[in-house]
Chains A and B, each alone.
Chain A
Amino acid sequence: MEKELIEKREKKPGIGSYVALAAFLLIFSGALKNVPVLNVFDIQSLSGAFGIVKGAEGNFVGAGGTGASQGFALCLSLMPIVMLCMGIVELTNHYGAQLAASQLFSPIMKPLMGVPGTMAISLVSSLNISDIGAATTRDMFEQGEITEDERVKMIAFQFPSCALINNLVTLMGMTVGIVYLSTSAYLLILIVIKFICCNIMRLIMKTRFYKKETVSV
């Protein structure tokens, strides 16, 4: 899969990729709720709701459950949302949302992170699956495209809240209608936090304290 990703770097994102990226962000942002026709594509509208059980007040999950059974019932009610969300993520990635995102990230990576813009695809794919981000970072180091310091900075970005999108989507499924912020808002906040963590690491790396430390093998 890493080879696929490195090949992806050579592809240029077209208008379709940007449409896919925009669609992904809009669907999860809650911004479509009030738009006349497109409001059907808002994630809450697509997720729908379970029907009311006849003769009862709510859906099959019931009320007042506790312990493992309640946890199980909750998960069962979440599965459709998680499956739908991952389907949307896979679709938008297939149509090039990752490529568009990496093109948007690459000019800012050098000033904001101190890492070359060619790492953008690794950065964007680390937002989906943590292993891919780590593996591509390692590959690019071994091929001599980045230095050791740049690798550390990259990991300092990837580790906090790794596999962001996949996990966020699961958590959001669990908290539909409870939390006050939309998925895209959380996505933005977490990416900003990742940049902050990366830059704190950059500062630490500039101190003499860090540079003097040697690896004890």
Chain B
Amino acid sequence: MNKTNETLQVKANQKTPFVDVFMRGAVKGWNMAIKNMFPAVILAYTFINVLEKTGALEILQKVFDPIMIIFGMPGAAIAVIVTGMMTRPGGMATALALLSSGVLTERDVTILVIPIMIIGGCLGQYVRVIVASGAANKSHKYILLISGVMTFVSLWLMNLLLMLMGI
């Protein structure tokens, strides 16, 4: 009787690796969405809502337009980068909210993916990557500086790339 139970148990545990692995990945996706994406997107959309209703978004645009024009972006794009520095899905959500308000175009959003990815979540990732690796203290500021500068340079590079592609 015990032997039959054991055999049944062994057979029940032999699932196909393909299904197993896919489901494990899907659960990871679920966790990422629930713990990372949802809170960040709610934060970003609320933030943009507040900015729009108080008129602060217009002020932001007027202040940053002359600066962001160097990179070919409307001034409101700075809100995307700032939100993106805290959380990447939040930065993307800000971009999407501004897209649906008509402040950004689809081309702008295509370009903004890159700076969001580069500097995104840097406040958290600084500890998780740079400090955790134990890299020399004197190198930290350079790595952060390079990433920061690259964030803005990439705006210009992406603009160039899209122009070369004819978009």
Where the two chains meet, the residues of A that have a C-beta atom closer than 8 Å to any C-beta of B are 66-68, 70-72, 74-75, 78-79, 82-91, 94, 130-131, 133-135, 137-138, 141, 148, 151-152, 154-156, 158-164, 166-168, 170-171, 174-175, 178-181, 186, 189-190, 193, 196-197, 200-201, 204-205, 210, 213-216
Partner of A68, one of B46, B147, B154: B46
Query: CB distance A159 to B29 under 8 Å?
Result: no
CB neighbours of A89 from chain B (8 A) = 25
Query: Which residue, of A70, A84, A137, A215, has the highest number of chain B Cβ atoms within 10 A?
Result: A70
Give Cα A88–Cα B24 distance, bound, in whole angstroms. 10
A-B contact list, 13 entries, CB within 8 Å: A66-B45, A68-B42, A74-B96, A75-B33, A79-B29, A83-B27, A86-B32, A87-B22, A170-B88, A170-B89, A171-B92, A178-B110, A180-B167
* Tally of A-B Cβ pairs under 8 angstroms: 215
Main secondary structure of the interface of A (DSSP, over half): helix
Where the two chains meet, the residues of B that have a C-beta atom closer than 8 Å to any C-beta of A are 17-18, 21-30, 32-33, 36-38, 41-46, 49, 88-89, 92-93, 96-97, 99, 106-107, 109-110, 113-114, 116-121, 125-126, 128-130, 132-139, 142-144, 146-147, 150, 154, 158, 161-162, 167
A151 to chain B, nearest CB (A): 6
Query: CB distance A201 to B143 under 8 Å?
Result: yes
CB neighbours of A163 from chain B (8 A) = 125
Query: CB distance A179 to B23 under 8 Å?
Result: no
Question: What 4 pairs between A and B have smallest CB-CB spacing?
Answer: A90-B25, A86-B29, A71-B45, A83-B29
CB neighbours of A88 from chain B (8 A) = 22, 25
Give Cα A139–Cα B98 distance, bound, in whole angstroms. 43
CB neighbours of B36 from chain A (8 A) = 170
Partner of B33, one of A82, A87, A141: A82
Partner of B132, one of A79, A82, A135, A215: A135
Partner of A152, one of B29, B33, B139: B139
CB neighbours of A87 from chain B (8 A) = 22-23, 25-26, 29
Query: Which residue, of A86, A130, A154, A168, has the highest number of chain B Cβ atoms within 10 A?
Result: A86
CB neighbours of B128 from chain A (8 A) = 130-131, 134, 162
Give Cα A163–Cα B118 distance, bound, in whole angstroms. 10
CB neighbours of B27 from chain A (8 A) = 83
Closest to A212 in B: B138
A85 and B96 contact, Cβ closer than 8 Å, known pairs A71-B46, A155-B129, A167-B117? no
